[in-house]
Each structure stands twice: as C-alpha cells, then as structure tokens.
Amino acid sequence: MKVLIIGAGGREHALAWKLSRSGRVGKIFIAPGNAGTAEIGENVDIAVDDIPALVKFAASAKIDLTVVGPELPLTLGIVDDFRASNLKVFGPSKLAAELEGSKAFCKDLLKKYNIPSAAYEKFTDADSAKEYLKSAKLPLVIKADGLAAGKGVIICQTYEEAVAAVEQLMEERAFGTAGETIIVEEFLEGEEVSILAISDGTTVVPLAPAQDHKAIFNGDKGPNTGGMGAYSPTPLLTPAMEADILENILEPTIQAMEDEGREYTGVLYAGLMIKDGFAKVLEFNCRFGDPETQPVLMRMENDLFELLMAATEEELDEVSLSWTNATAVCVVLAAKGYPGKYEKGSVISGLDKLRGQKDTIAFHAGTAEKDGAVVTAGGRVLGITALGTSTAEAITKAYKAVEAIEWDGVYFRTDIGAKAVQKA
C-alpha cells in the first residue's frame, strides 16, 4: 500500500515512523516533509495548502491512503476535494473541521449540547470586549476565534493584561483574521490533559491520554507555544475518569456534530482541564496533536495503518487497542527566540549519536537538509522521545539524548514530565 502524509512537523515524522512499521505499507510519501521524514519515505515538494497539487499527486501516484497532519488544509476542505476525486483520506471534512477552525463555533456547540466547558462571551469589536472586561471576573482567558498555530490563547491575570490582549488580537491583528472574533472565557483551574480519539463518524476509539507542556518556560511560565514536550500515560486520569470522558464528552461531541449535519471522521483531539476528578473541555482540535502524537505512538502496539483504514471504512467498532506499559516522554528542542522571532539555518550536530538507539527517537519538526547537513528550519526543531519502564526512567533517557544534540541557540524546558513524577 502507498501512503501520503501531509505536513512537515514532528507529528508527521512520528506518523511516518509508525506507519512504516506496518506490514501493509510499502511506500510512504510526505508533503512537504522534513529532514527526518526523508529517511523514512520520499518527500514531495508540495505545500500543505496547495490542495489541487496534492490531489493531482495522490491520483497520479495511486495513493491508497492520505493522512492529513496539520489543521490548515483540513479547514480549507482538503478532505472534501480528495473524496470528490475518489481518493481515500483520513480526516474531517471542511464543515467538521470548523470545530477547530472556529472557537466560537466550538463553544456554541458545547453550550447547545450541554458538554462541560468554561463559561464564555464572544465579541466582534474591541470596544464591546473592553467594556465587558470592566466587570469580568479575573483571571480570565482571551482566545482568537480562528487558527493561530496554538498561540492564540492569552491568560490574563489583570484588567490591564486583558485590555492589552484584546488590542493585540483585534486591533494589532497579531494573528491576522483569526482575531476578528474573540472569546473571553472563564479561567478554569486544574491540570490539562490531552486525549486523542479516532472517530469513523459513529464509533469513538480514544488513544492513550497524554499531558502537554504549552508554556515556553519551566514551571508553565511565559507565553504559550505549540507545545514544548509531552508524556504518556498520565497519572492524572484513572480508568473510571477515562470512561467518563468518553461517555460525557467524546461520544456526545461526535453525536452533536452528526446532529448538526457535520459528520465527524478523523482525529478528535480533546484538550481538557481536570479538577477534582472531573473534566471540562478547553478546546477541540481536528488532527493529531503535536507533540502528544510522538509519545502516544511510541506506546501504541497496534498497526496504525489498519486503525486509520478502519476509521475511513467505518469499521472502528471492530478495533481494540493495546498499549505498552512503558511511559514515553518527548522533550521539544526549539530555536532561540521561539515562540517569537527565531533564526533558521543553524547546523544541528549529534543526531548520528541517536541513530539505532533502543527506545529513543529524534523526531524531526523544523528541520531541512542543506549541503549535506541537517539545519534548523522552524521554531520547534526536534522532539526527543524516549520509552522507559517508569516516567522517571523515560525522562532520564530523553534528557540524556538531548545532551547529545547541539546547535547555536538550542533551547528546551528542563522540567518535562516532572509533575507526573511527583504524583507517582
């Protein structure tokens, strides 16, 4: 079978790695890919939002299954175009992908169907938002409605911070049109957890839970990023809590989308806040999470290709997942300055030291090949992911591998997984 993976990040490298281990997959193409995916399959120089070119390539190469990594092509309707050309593709339609493409749509859906989430108000002009802030309870969260690469969420402790956030999103247009509408949301206390679930439109199969580290600095300080590291499983969730999340959040959301005429197939990524054993929805994403995908797939014992094919063929009710008892920890190495401005083109050394290492993989994210060397080409550059018999062992393995990697300005958090060790 031939597989096409769309995307260029750590998530796509992890997907390529896992799919390459399937006995049913013969050839993998990645568009556009990175220096890491080039070692697994064939990179194809097509941008993720050039949908006509991607459809043309998939048809000409006789691709058996296309897996869409990032959210942008999903919200642009890539799945609809592939299906219209009778090409098998894993992911939600344009209508279904609005669950991530519009936070206002998502919040309204959750409210309509009584799915637990934070109280909120939405605004389309800055003056009305600022007036509301005068009487709003602090702290609060302000979110851009549209896609902002995981960075359009601002936690505000004071009135002044909240006003500045409104101005940043709606007046300065820090994230372009994503800030034309904003959500002002109740601040939820607790701990965040991510659950990626696979849906065929009817059946929902949750993957192993993971915990991400969004903030740039240790101790969850500083601005949000796309994710600075993750681990799976998490001691935060008991089996009973996972069952409750499936029954009261995941399944009702898939049913709600069907009721709205937006049948949802693909990955439903639930970002949840857990407090006192109960979960509320922070957000939904319509694709595999990054970096959560890296540790989750390291632990999965199933054939990923068969799982994704079952979802596209509405046969998930026949699937049973199994997981290794080991813990996986992913530490993201970022370029200096991320999530703000950062330089590209720095030569990365030490990757050869990790090749062939048991239970440790350097998943490439923002990398490229130049003059025979691997260089930085993005904000999040690598995701060093390791398996261990315990969280502590996995952390030790991951950071030992991190020590082998060098480039000018490399940055990483040093506390990935620390909260899980404290709970153990």
Other CB atoms closer than 10 Å to residue 117's CB: what's the count?
Answer: 23
Short-list 290, 266, 268, CA closest to 363: 290
What pLDDT sits at residue 424?
A: 67
Comma-separated ranges of CATH 3.30.1490.20 domains in the chain: 125-180
pLDDT digits (tens, 9 = 90+) for 81-93: 999 999 999 999 9
- Candidates 3.40.50.12710, 2.40.30.10, 3.40.50.200, 3.90.600.10; correct CATH number of 327-423? 3.90.600.10
Short-list 66, 41, 39, CA closest to 53: 66
Cα distance between the two ends of the chain: 42
22: its two tokens: 């399937």
Q: HEC string of 20-85?
A: CCCCCCCEEEEEECCCCHHHCCEECCCCCCCHHHHHHHHHHCCCCEEEECCHHHHHCCHHHHHHHC
Cα separation, 361 vs 134, whole angstroms = 49
DSSP 340: S
pLDDT digits (tens, 9 = 90+) for 255-291: 999 999 999 999 999 999 999 999 999 999 999 999 9
Contact 305, 65 (CB under 8 A): yes
Report, at the CATH architecture level, how domain 2-91 is classified. 3-Layer(aba) Sandwich (3.40)
pLDDT digits (tens, 9 = 90+) for 156-178: 999 999 999 999 999 999 899 99
Mean pLDDT of 225-238: 94
What pLDDT sits at residue 358?
A: 85
Comma-separated ranges of CATH 3.90.600.10 domains in the chain: 327-423
Report the chain's mean pLDDT, rounded to a whole number: 96
The residues near 240 (Cβ < 8 Å, ≥ 6 apart) are none
Comma-separated ranges of CATH 3.30.470.20 domains in the chain: 191-318
Q: 191-318: what fold? A: D-amino Acid Aminotransferase; Chain A, domain 1 (3.30.470)
Q: 125-180: what fold? A: Dna Ligase; domain 1 (3.30.1490)
pLDDT digits (tens, 9 = 90+) for 130-140: 999 999 999 99
Comma-separated ranges of CATH 3.40.50.20 domains in the chain: 2-91
- Give buried/exposed letters for 79-90 (b at 16+ CB in 10 A, else e): bbbbeeeebebb
150: pLDDT strictly greater than 80: no
Cα separation, 378 vs 342, whole angstroms = 8
